[in-house]
Amino acid sequence: MASTPPIILPDAPKVGMVSLGCPKALVDSERILTRLRADGYAMSADYAGADVVLVNTCGFLDSAKEESLAAIGEAIAENGRVIVTGCMGNEAEAIRARFPSVLAVTGAHQYEAVVEAVHEAAPPSISPYVDLIPQADPGDVKLTPRHYSYLKISEGCNHACAFCIIPSLRGKLVSRRIDAVLREAEKLVAAGTRELLVISQDTSAYGVDVRHEERMWKGRPVRTHMTDLARELGQLRTPDGHTPWVRLHYVYPYPHVDAVIPLMAEGLLTPYLDIPFQHASPSVLKRMKRPANEAKVLERLKAWRAICPDIAVRSSFVVGFPGETAADFQYLLDWLDEAQLDRVGAFRFEPVAGAAANDLPDPVPEEIKEERYARIMAKTESISAAKLAAKVGRTVRVIIDDVGEPDEDGDIGATARSQADAPEIDGAVYLRNVPEGLKAGDFADVLVEDADAHDLFGVISPTG
């Protein structure tokens, strides 16, 4: 009897991804890849192996646009079959003028359009054998390490800051259902996430667009509100019983932010707030059209530290905004002396096509921007160095990010982060002589032995 020839299954088409910009764009990339994987696509780690390459662009600043255009050019040169998505998608004509061969251009968080473009460019394999395979889990594709995940709670923004074009790129605020957010968070933690990074364009405004509607969760109603969300996230537990770190980003200092500080003091939330102050001078904030600029921030910082002494506050500031005077800049430096923020990033003002700030009078000359940028970085570095030096001799809780190979003496080093350090943007804790078996995602108590302006150095605590 003749044997039946083996069935040869079709190869799954492969998709490459270049993801640029902020963590919110990274979440968009994860969702796109998840959809494609569910449709039978495989992922390619390089240009050569991809049937089509997706470039998720950033369009917030002109420098970011140039980086995005360079990435598109590289993908075309290396692969040739390129689909562009993300924040620069609203400039499709400009992209096509420079790169006429791009297969498709879609805007930010237009998941259906991106998937449809991929289907057209590299049709999914159709086979009754493959189609019987269960679809990928909705949370299956992650572009971050297993132990931390970004949790996007809303899209868009209702503000009209003079230097920003986010509302024109991503639209007005649209909050996700709170039960859907909590369900996603629960699944992530069950799958190995030990740190949740809550992100949005304006975390404090979560739920404003739906009038803080209530949804049922675990048999009880919860409001679509930042404080309710924070309280519920604080109830999550990892499979081994730990409280995962929950870190709040992009928090405007509205009055209700005060309500989450006690949750940090209780250990339910990571004692960390990322607040985009952008400046301190009232006249500059007015020209920036920044929200909540009348808040008594310094008094509130003092009150927060009284409730939760270990709270770390990070922020970012723009120098050289049109009309910024020497007095305005000195006001900012004096404010930083008093605020004693833990982590600070600074940016030179850049005109962005479509931003209202471009039409403001009294632009600051580039050489003055550079001088002010150097001064603010020196100021914040000295503050950071002093605050980190004060931690020498203390024991701090860390999460392990990476464990190295043994050196010639058999010693193993590791890179970790304290609760004051968000991934990618803050400092690190460098460990020496860690025990075998330590792995990424583990929590540990560390005795701090040394510090510099940005990082800590230490060893696993003998009692930890």
CATH for 418: 2.40.50.140
CATH number, domain with residue 113 = 3.40.50.12160
The answer to whether 328 touches 283, Cβ cutoff 8 Å, is yes
The SS3 assignment for 15 reads strand
Per-residue pLDDT at 250: 92
The SS3 assignment for 43 reads strand
163: region left, alpha or beta (phi > 0 left; psi from -120 to 50 alpha): alpha
> Is residue 137 domain-resident?
no
Pairing status of strand 245-248 against strand 195-199:
parallel
Are 177 and 262 in a shared domain? yes
CA dist., res. 68 & res. 56, Å (int): 8
> Is residue 141 domain-resident?
no
Among 343, 366, 389, residue at a domain's last position: 389
Tens-binned pLDDT, residue by residue, of the chain (464 aa) = 455 555 444 577 889 999 887 777 788 888 888 778 777 788 888 888 899 999 999 877 777 888 899 999 999 999 989 999 988 887 888 899 999 999 999 887 677 788 888 888 888 765 444 443 334 444 456 667 889 999 999 988 887 777 776 766 677 899 999 999 999 999 999 989 999 999 998 999 999 999 999 999 999 999 999 999 999 999 999 999 999 999 999 999 889 999 999 999 999 999 999 999 999 999 999 998 886 555 588 999 999 999 999 999 999 999 999 999 999 999 999 999 999 999 999 989 987 777 778 788 899 999 999 999 999 999 999 999 999 999 999 999 999 999 998 888 889 999 999 999 999 889 999 999 999 889 999 999 999 999 999 999 999 987 65
Per-residue pLDDT at 296: 85
CA dist., res. 407 & res. 398, Å (int): 23
Are 404 and 325 in a shared domain? no
> Is residue 424 domain-resident?
yes
Are 168 and 262 in a shared domain? yes
Among 365, 389, 413, residue at a domain's last position: 389
Per-residue pLDDT at 32: 84
Are 25 and 157 in a shared domain? no
Q: Within 13 Å and on the Cβ side, how many CA atoms surround 47?
A: 14
The SS3 assignment for 445 reads strand
> Is residue 1 domain-resident?
no
Are 384 and 426 in a shared domain? no
Are 231 and 118 in a shared domain? no
Are 367 and 436 in a shared domain? no
| Beta strand residue intervals within 207-300, DSSP E | 214-217, 220-223, 245-248, 272-274
> Is residue 114 domain-resident?
yes
Number of domains in the chain: 3
User: pTM (2 decimals)?
Assistant: 0.78
Query: 444 CB contacts (<8 Å, ≥6 apart)?
Result: 397, 398, 400, 416, 438, 460, 461, 464
Among 341, 356, 389, residue at a domain's last position: 389
Q: What angle do CA 61, 64, 67 make, to 5 degrees?
A: 155
Cα separation values, 409 from 405, 416, 431, Å:
11, 22, 16
Per-residue pLDDT at 295: 53
> Is residue 139 domain-resident?
no
Are 118 and 246 in a shared domain? no
Q: Within 13 Å and on the Cβ side, how many CA atoms surround 285?
A: 16
Are 326 and 200 in a shared domain? yes
The answer to whether 441 touches 372, Cβ cutoff 8 Å, is no
Are 170 and 114 in a shared domain? no
The domain of 105 spans 14-132
Per-residue pLDDT at 338: 95
> Is residue 31 domain-resident?
yes
CATH number, domain with residue 261 = 3.80.30.20
Are 178 and 303 in a shared domain? yes
Provide Rg for the chain, Cα atoms.
Answer: 24
> Is residue 3 domain-resident?
no
Are 205 and 106 in a shared domain? no
Per-residue pLDDT at 113: 84
Tokens of 415: 């890179």
